[in-house]
Structures are given as structure tokens and as C-alpha cells.
Amino acid sequence: AQTVTQSQPEMSVQEAETVTLSCTYDTSENNYYLFWYKQPPSRQMILVIRQEAYKQQNATENRFSVNFQKAAKSFSLKISDSQLGDTAMYFCAFMSPAGGTSYGKLTFGQGTILTVHP
């Protein structure tokens, strides 16, 4: 079974600065998908960024980027130029590819509450 660990329960950052959220995972699979989800106070789950394990290039979506270290099983999220609207809970999640034992099922980390201060 896969496990996902987020070791930072809470983080804070000043507006316009950069912050990095950590995530480690454990799996015996070679190919898989990794995600970062954002959950604002509205409770809605919003996909922020995704990474396929077979791709060496780190994913980037505007101000959000990841540092994917497959050998270390690490998947951190960097938020640049932080904005007040980035204040939310952030979850790291794992999913097996099609045909894998956990395809379609997301395994989540514990979450990190990020607060952006003005």
C-alpha cells in the first residue's frame, strides 16, 4: 500500500514571498501520478498541479512548481509570489496509473495549512 506524508502541519509566508511545502511518499510502483490539491475555507478541492513519475521534468503551473525527486520519493510544492488567495489547506496525493492496484484511488497526505500574511 502507498503512504503519503506531509510533515509540516502549518506554514506561513508573507505576501509576495516564496514558500515550499514538503511531501514524501512510499510506493513499490515505478510509474504513478502525484498531485497537489488546494482546499480553501470553502472546502472545495482544487487541483493545483500534477506530475507523472515517468517524466523527469518538474511540472509548472504559473506561480506553482514542484520539485520531484523520484529516487528520494519526494514531491515538494513551491509557491512563488504568494498571494492572500493562496491561504488554504494543501494536500499531496498519490495515484497508481491505469492497470495499477490503486488506479482511480487517491492516497492523501495529512495536509499543510498555509497562511499568507499581508
Partner 1 sequence: NAGVTQTPKFQVLKTGQSMTLQCAQDMNHEYMSWYRQDPGMGLRLIHYSVGAGITDQGEVPNGYNVSRSTTEDFPLRLLSAAPSQTSVYFCASKGRGPYEQYFGPGTRLTVT
Binding residues for partner 1, per CB under 8 A?
A: 4, 6, 9, 33, 35, 42-45, 47, 50, 52, 91, 95, 97-98, 104-111
- Shortest distance in whole angstroms from residue 44 CB to partner 1: 6
Cβ-based nearer residue to partner 1, 98 or 118? 98
Q: Quick one: which H or E segment has residue 14?
A: strand 10-14
Cβ-based nearer residue to partner 1, 76 or 107? 107
CA dist., res. 42 & res. 99, Å (int): 34
- In sequence order, the 6+-apart residues with CB closer than 8 A to the CB of 5 are 23, 24, 25, 26, 109, 110
- Shortest distance in whole angstroms from residue 104 CB to partner 1: 5
